[in-house]
Chain A
Amino acid sequence: MIEVDEIDTRFLRRLKSEFDESHLACFQCGVCSASCPVIEIEASFNPRRIMKMTRLGLKSRVLSSDYIWLCSMCLLCEERCPQGVRIPEVMTALRNLAVEEGYIPEPMRRIRSLLAEGGRLYPIDDFTAEERIDRGLPEVEAEPEFVKRLAGGVKA
């Protein structure tokens, strides 16, 4: 059951002005869900339903859910959507807004701190650095400073 007071119009306005307008065109045909490689494995991830709940403005339900984090970003639904809805962009928007509300899955915190503290998702350890030299590959900056600083500013 959807209660009227669950509908958050400010959430809808922000989504539209800061992130994505295309979701307004969604007419619930379900091509996204029919194309989705995740839904066949994990039924709780249903892009068509997420689009509907988003359009209804069910902010808390959507942003606190686990399923908005289960899109694999294969981008197939975006190619196939007859209404030109950029579904993966909507997923990104929902995730960003969830983070603002403090819903941050632990793996995402880890990604942030790896980048903020070491500048790389896969750190270049001594072994790798030596391997690179042995194989005649050029040296690379172990911890790119700009990455650390830009990631360090992510509130999480």
Chain B
Amino acid sequence: MSSRPGHAEALGIEFVDLPFGCCGFPLEPLDRVRSLAMAAYNLMLASREGLDIATLCSACAETLIKAEWLLSREEGLLRRVNRVLGELDAEYKGEAPRVLHIARMLHEEVGVERIRGLVKRPLNDLRVAVHYGCHYMRPSEAYGGFEDPERPRSLDELVEATGAESVEYPGKMDCCGGGLLAMSERVAKEMAAKKLRRLSELGVDALVLICPFCAIMYDRYQSLILGEGRIPVLYYTQLLGLALGLEPEALGLDLNAVAVDGLLEKVM
């Protein structure tokens, strides 16, 4: 879902590519100290350039923010992390660049009103369900409580800025199950299935989400779970791109697993 180039200009954001690597999240269950060292290394890369970090993935945002938070308050842990970083001749000295999930960045830095003003193709005919996932705003303690951890609003507001309607639905705050995909595909798929079945009955035009791992569960696995792809799944920037008047080809919509043709017909 490569829907980044094109938006940045319209929204006045400059993206700089840095040689980031894995945030460390997948290693946490095996070795928390090495997972934190990986996060710290990424933080140092941004800090060296004096830049903030924008993430597309909610678990990346959480992992990096939690690393800053933990390492600023637990000296023993910091020492152990630095012992590991010594292998790379690196030392983490509390560098704490701002880490913003792209949705949070759009909401806080660009702002809903400005986005509304930039809309060239209002999506007034669309009824969409938003999916926040878990790591976008939890743990609220590490995130400084920028969102209500159980009743967030920012993504609804971002969706509504495009003209689309964000429908309320039971299970809106459910976990996609992606965190369990490696350990138990059965449980993970069953967790994702709950939302997909509900949305299937509800008949929404799309599910809009903000985490690539949630997309694996709801988009990639949808035909396995429902027997066929029924509900288009858009990453928020794909929806936003349509509203900003960008061409579907520029939004990577052809890379989505569930076809989005019906939705495009409604919009274009």
Which chain A residues have a beta carbon within 8 Å of chain B's beta carbons? 18-19, 37-38, 41-42, 69-76, 78-79, 86, 88, 92-93, 95-96, 99, 104-105, 107-108, 110-112, 115, 119-121, 132, 135-138, 140-141, 144, 146-147, 149-151, 153-156
Which residues of chain B (81-124) have a CB below 8 Å from chain A?
A: 84, 87-88
Residue of B5, B34, B149, B175 touching A151 (CB-CB under 8 A)? B34
Q: Is the CB of A150 within 8 A of B34?
A: yes
Chain B: how many interface residues by the 8 Å CB criterion? 45
**A88 — nearest CB in chain B belongs to which residue?**
B139
Instruction: Count chain A CB atoms within 10 A of each CB in B4, B19, B22, B175 and give the residue with the most.
Output: B22
Residue of A19, A37, A108, A153 touching B87 (CB-CB under 8 A)? A153
Residue of B19, B26, B31 touching A144 (CB-CB under 8 A)? B19
Given the complex, which residues of B lie within 8 Å of A88, measured CB to CB? 139
Does B29 have its Cβ within 8 Å of any Cβ on chain A?
A: yes
Q: Is the CB of B2 within 8 A of A110?
A: no
In the complex, per-residue mask of B227-264: 1 if CB is within 8 Å of any chain A CB, else 0 = 00000000000000000000000001000000000000
Q: Is the CB of A150 within 8 A of B191?
A: no
Q: Is the CB of A149 within 8 A of B87?
A: yes
**Which 5 pairs from chain A and chain B are nearest by CB?**
A144-B21, A74-B175, A147-B21, A75-B138, A107-B182
Q: How many A-B residue pairs have CB under 8 A?
A: 137
| 22 chain-A/chain-B pairs, Cβ below 8 angstroms | A38-B187, A42-B187, A69-B183, A72-B177, A72-B179, A72-B188, A76-B150, A76-B175, A78-B138, A86-B139, A92-B32, A93-B32, A108-B30, A111-B26, A115-B27, A119-B21, A138-B17, A146-B88, A147-B38, A151-B34, A151-B38, A156-B30
In the complex, per-residue mask of B162-185: 1 if CB is within 8 Å of any chain A CB, else 0 = 000000000000110111101110
Query: 4 more A-B contacts (CB under 8 A) besides A72-B188, A105-B183?
Result: A72-B175, A72-B177, A99-B31, A150-B87
Given the complex, which residues of B lie within 8 Å of A146, measured CB to CB? 21, 38, 41, 88
Q: Is the CB of B19 within 8 A of A149?
A: no
**B23 — nearest CB in chain A belongs to which residue?**
A147
